[in-house]
Amino acid sequence: MTSKGAQIHYTKKFDLSGLPTYKPQHMVSGTIRQSGNNYLGDSPVAKRWEKAFQKYQPDVTFQDNLVSSAVGIPSLYTGTADVAPMGREILWDELQGYQRQFNSQPLEVTVTTGSYDVTGWTNALAVFVNKANPLSKLSFSQIDGVFGAARTGVWDGQKWDPTKVRGADKNIRTWGQLGLTGDWADKPIHVYGYTPEYHFGNFVAKEAMQGSSSWNENIKQFANFTRPDGSLAIAGDVFMDELAKDPYGIAYSGIDFLKPGTKALPLSREDGGPFVSMSLDTVQDRSYPLTRSTYYYLIKGQDGKPDPKVKEFLRFILSREGQQIIMEDGKYLPLTPKVARKQLAKLN
């Protein structure tokens, strides 16, 4: 019997030949203190990365506190960690705390593509409707119209951007506004989703709602809860069961919560497409629009660059050897060469 963290969820071998091999730029030494993402701690990835890196850099040791993404950024600005591995993007309050301490922003480096269908492993998000619904696709502007509401601006990092105003005239509240006809045209859209504290909505808002925190005034929000018999009810299970019974419903969640009687829609960033269905391949190559990522957040020195030993470790993680470990673990997905090159450039 293996723990969820030890299980391999996909066995496909992706072509990693376009990724750079790791060659040390400098021999480094010292202890790298990591605090953050518990999924790296629950799976073998963190220790495998460390041991493989130490074959090239034997004078580096690690001190890990991999219990939750929630402790990552506070550990940076309180000086108890050098790097914060995170299973999600930095939150506004976390960014605010870091900025107040250092008068700057941390360096964000994408280190893996999130999973396709592994709950909790930064899985990609889908938009679902009832299987009886004739709707066949959605663009981001339509997602904004359905899930969002009127706004006077949005936060872009720590800057308020009033140019991304949207009026109530852009709200989409009936299926006819999405192009459905006949009996569907005047039927109200019933919106399901997670409570904001679960952060999934932050990602949908960032990607598809221009960063807005203004949600549909009628959204029905869900969280995990304990049933009277002591069993745990998982939010995604609960509202996807409701969606399967509601022909006028729509929801966002992971594909692992797909239920009989529901379907996931192809999505597009642009109104004219291309509309892409979620699959293992489209998540890994990032053509699927709601693909997620995991990150390392780093403290930058006075010269704006990371600590040399941290830089070398991140160069290893972004290398073919580092991403090979991700693929062998079978939950997170390896980066594409394009994304890896972009992240490596941030370290210079």
Other CB atoms within 10 A of residue 183 CB: 8
Query: So what's the pLDDT on residue 3?
Result: 41
**Omega before residue 274 within 30° of 0, cis:** yes
The pLDDT tens digits of the residues spanning 284-330 come to 999 999 999 999 999 988 788 899 999 999 999 999 999 999 999 99
- What is the C-alpha to C-alpha distance for residues 283 and 333, in angstroms, rounded to an integer? 8
pTM value is 0.94
Was domain 125-277 assigned CATH 3.40.1390.10?
A: no
- What is the C-alpha to C-alpha distance for residues 254 and 231, in angstroms, rounded to an integer? 21
Same fold, 7-116+292-346 and 125-277: yes
Give the phi and the psi of residue 192 in degrees, each rounded to 5. Answer: -120, 145
Q: Which tokens in the block code for residue 105?
A: 């922003």
Name the DSSP letter for residue 124. -
pLDDT > 70? residue 4 = no
Q: Which residue has the tokens 């069993």?
A: 231
Q: What would the mean pLDDT of 187-213 be, rounded to a whole number?
A: 94
Q: Which tokens in the block code for residue 191?
A: 């919106």
The pLDDT tens digits of the residues spanning 122-164 come to 999 999 999 999 999 999 999 999 999 999 999 988 899 999 9
With CA atoms as reference, report the closest residue to 293 among 115, 40, 44, 38. Answer: 115
Give the phi and the psi of residue 86 in degrees, each rounded to 5. Answer: -130, 140
pLDDT > 60? residue 5 = no
- What is the C-alpha to C-alpha distance for residues 283 and 292, in angstroms, rounded to an integer? 8
- What is the C-alpha to C-alpha distance for residues 269 and 139, in angstroms, rounded to an integer? 6
- What is the C-alpha to C-alpha distance for residues 114 and 37, in angstroms, rounded to an integer? 13
Where does the pLDDT of residue 1 fall: very low under 50, low under 70, confident under 90, or very high at 90 and above? very low
Domain ranges of the chain: 7-116+292-346, 125-277
- What is the C-alpha to C-alpha distance for residues 109 and 300, in angstroms, rounded to an integer? 12
The pLDDT tens digits of the residues spanning 39-69 come to 877 778 999 999 999 999 999 999 999 999 9
Query: So what's the pLDDT on residue 6?
Result: 55
Contacts of 131 (CB under 8 A, 6+ apart): 244, 260, 261, 262, 263
Length of the chain: 348
Which amino acid would we find at residue 245? K
pLDDT > 80? residue 13 = yes
**With contact defined as beta carbons under 8 Å apart, do 147 and 160 qualify?**
no
Name the DSSP letter for residue 277. -
Was domain 7-116+292-346 assigned CATH 3.40.1350.10?
A: no
Query: So what's the pLDDT on residue 15?
Result: 97
Query: So what's the pLDDT on residue 2?
Result: 33
